[in-house]
Structure 1
């Protein structure tokens, strides 16, 4: 039976891109929701604080290296979900130390939400980020903290926006990485947050990796482009970037552009998200929670067609 007990959930990184989705998912599932955020110094930060408070979130303010304060906050909750951005991933070592000292946390979900880091390799710029995630996994396990790791593959709204430019009605060219035939997994951010919160309070997912790979979200670039052409009655010119060129760019571009190319290579050229088969021992989110109607790629394209999103700044690191 699924554990339906409501837990006090603290989101670390609640003011970030995925953090907002995670907060909303926690609240929608009825959990008392807390956020640990940096002290307020700017008007933008103040606006985000007011947003969290308006949703009914209990907000703690502090730095991750304020050990005593962090431990005190942790002792008031049951579950910790981290959504810290890539540059802060190793900062989670401080969080792990505090969780161990607090001694009451029933589950920790570190910030990953991408490729299944223990099963894939990548070109050096991206591999370094994957290795940081592995370090957090091993530190969590060494500390004896109950965990759930979430492999969410790719954020659908983010990457559809990046690949197709749905906001640009004059767009005629679309870049295709490699042959465009490799299969990726594009999951809507709302679903990633839902599955994460559900798994974080589910005994079946304790000390397991939850992989979000529903059938309706496995798609290649070429298939994605064709779906968009059919919806918009437009024909796009496909400009292929060969794999050799991408490998060279990874070696010559400066940070963080080299990481961006390495991620695109790993996901859309090598097909790293679908290159391994799921076994009966794997925990796949859409099968773990079959009653949840996730947003498939085609449905999200329909949303973008009706309401084109704002253009995004490509920040992969």
Structure 2
């Protein structure tokens, strides 16, 4: 494993996680293709990122979600397709566009594995999620259903919490930098979550693409040292800055009350906090026979611990 080089197409390669997946694929020496959509020609930062990938050895393929044949032609060039298109409502929610990609993969018939855009909570476990946040999981499950009905081989990546969003902020809402005076804690702050450096998300993802152990399975990213409660995360930060923060504990009732007053897009994203921090949905189950855990499969990956991750913010 890992010896043979794979031809990989990344869709959404200029996005938050996509750009890291492109670089991780290049770093592993895979022949890496990145989908270039026509509309990016007018988005100078994204275009320049694509050109920087090209300098690093990636191939750019022009195609569009609205042009079926262009997608078929693109996927015919590769063994593995990884989709990292945005699933964040605050920005642009494009999960449904993958249905076009699945049709193209089915027609092309050559793709050995498809990794759809997931990289968060496992949607298969979120059937009871709150409205309106459950739309994220329903959209992802519709994509899974289409993949499985088309009989396409897959790996689903459950990456839990991106450190940039959830660790750097100590899981506060409305900021991505850690507070230095006071902090909000959800419930009693003791339920465990899982925080993963985005670079590690990309590394584990690329390791899994030609691994028979992850074929038609969900890969959970649960690096053991990063399974932390919100209180433990805050304690790491306090030790780094050498002071105690003033703590306010938010009851589930008052959290849900606050949620009602927000606009729809914010309700979608922030609703997920409830399941993570009040229900412990990332760690309250065992990975069964349909899953694998990344740090067990790939012990050679020296993942970033959160005490190290948070140092940059000091």
- TM-score by structure 1 length? 0.90
Q: How many residues align?
A: 303
For structure 1, which segment, 239-248 or 15-24, has the greater mean C-alpha deviation from structure 2 after superposition? 239-248
2:14 alignment counterpart:
15
CA distance in 2, matches of 1:43, 1:190: 24
Q: Is the 8 A contact 1:157 1:300 kept in 2?
A: no
Q: Measure how far apart 1:221 and its partner are.
A: 0.8
CA distance in 1, matches of 2:298, 2:6: 18
Q: Is the 8 A contact 1:246 1:262 kept in 2?
A: no
For structure 1, which segment, 247-256 or 63-72, has the greater mean C-alpha deviation from structure 2 after superposition? 247-256
For the pair 1:208 / 2:217, whether they are aligned, the reply is yes
Q: Measure how far apart 1:280 and its partner are.
A: 6.0
Deviations 1:162-183 (A, max 9, x none): 3376856x73111222221111
Deviations 1:280-302 (A, max 9, x none): 66310110111211112222123
Inter-CA distance 300–76: structure 2 relative to 1 (3 Å threshold) = same
For the pair 1:67 / 2:65, whether they are aligned, the reply is no
2:106 alignment counterpart:
100
Q: 2:95 aligns with which of 89, 92, 99?
A: 89
Q: Is the 8 A contact 2:2 2:207 kept in 1?
A: no
CA distance in 1, matches of 2:151, 2:139: 19
2:299 alignment counterpart:
290
CA distance in 2, matches of 1:4, 1:303: 35
- Correspondence list, 1:174-185, <5 A: 174-185=183-194
CA distance in 2, matches of 1:280, 1:293: 25
Q: Measure how far apart 1:273 and its partner are.
A: 0.2
Q: Measure how far apart 1:43 and its partner are.
A: 2.3
- Correspondence list, 1:173-252, <5 A: 173-252=182-261
Q: Is the 8 A contact 1:15 1:37 kept in 2?
A: no
Q: Is the 8 A contact 2:115 2:154 kept in 1?
A: yes
1:156 alignment counterpart:
163
CA distance in 2, matches of 1:35, 1:73: 9
1:31 alignment counterpart:
30
Q: Secondary structure at the match of 1:219?
A: strand
1:53 alignment counterpart:
54
Q: Secondary structure at the match of 2:188?
A: coil
1:124 alignment counterpart:
131
Deviations 1:42-79 (A, max 9, x none): 32333222222222211112321211111111111110
For structure 1, which segment, 269-278 or 103-112, has the greater mean C-alpha deviation from structure 2 after superposition? 269-278
Q: Is the 8 A contact 2:15 2:84 kept in 1?
A: yes
Inter-CA distance 186–43: structure 2 relative to 1 (3 Å threshold) = same
For structure 1, which segment, 133-142 or 59-68, has the greater mean C-alpha deviation from structure 2 after superposition? 59-68
2:81 alignment counterpart:
80
Inter-CA distance 68–253: structure 2 relative to 1 (3 Å threshold) = same
CA distance in 1, matches of 2:236, 2:169: 16
CA distance in 1, matches of 2:78, 2:187: 46
Q: 1:254 aligns with which of 263, 279, 289?
A: 263
Inter-CA distance 17–287: structure 2 relative to 1 (3 Å threshold) = same
Q: Is the 8 A contact 2:133 2:272 kept in 1?
A: yes
Question: Which stretches in structure 1 are left out of the alignment for 5+ residues?
Answer: 306-317
Inter-CA distance 266–216: structure 2 relative to 1 (3 Å threshold) = same
Question: Which stretches in structure 2 are left out of the alignment for 5+ residues?
Answer: 88-92
